[in-house]
Amino acid sequence: NNSDISYTCTPPGIREKANAATLELLPKKSKAVYKKAFKEFMDWKKSNDVSSFSEDVIISYFSELSTKIKPSTLWSHYSMLKATLNIKKGIDIRKYTKIVPYLKHRSVGYQPKKSKTLSKEEIDKFISEAPDEKFLMTKVALIFCVAGAMRRDELSQLKIGDISDLVSTLLIKIEHTKTMKPRSFTITGDV
């Protein structure tokens, strides 16, 4: 096998650097969750005395997991396991033809909870009627998130220096974004 030959011909130091570099392929913010999902799978394999990574093993794992978690969570576990098995073990479970149909079958009839969202009218009413003494910071956060399409993480990392008062306009600069591209937006009106 070519991968066995390249493994034995690769010096240990280079192999360690390559392993560290491939671990960087996991999403930074959720790396711990991915590692936890991988560890749970490996622990399950060990407790069931399984050494293989075959399709039947993976389906058996998801079958057991499906008794404990919702179908939507099952899909996220599949995604995390797919990434970690590929990175850590070089196994591409996307090639397994029965897993995705199995997950789809488990999702039949599942009704996810609908997130509650505020209408434009409800937002306007909250901003104009809620007392500033109690809700000023909530109002500011709401305006920033709606006007600037800010994510929760972006809002929590915002600093005073990122906000410029331009008399009748506020300029908000978002340096740390999910896409790694800084962006800015303005809020005009009574500021």
Domain-by-domain residue ranges, the chain?
2-107, 120-188
| pLDDT < 50 stretches in the chain | 1-5, 191
Residue 120 neighbours by CB distance under 10 Å? 8
What integer pLDDT is reported at residue 184 of this predicted model? 92
Instruction: Give, as one character, the DSSP assignment of residue 173.
Output: E
Strand positions, DSSP E, the chain: 163-165, 169-174, 183-188
What integer pLDDT is reported at residue 5 of this predicted model? 47
Contacts 24+ apart (CB under 8 A), 42-50: none
What integer pLDDT is reported at residue 72 of this predicted model? 87
What integer pLDDT is reported at residue 1 of this predicted model? 44
CB 167 within 8 A of CB 142: no
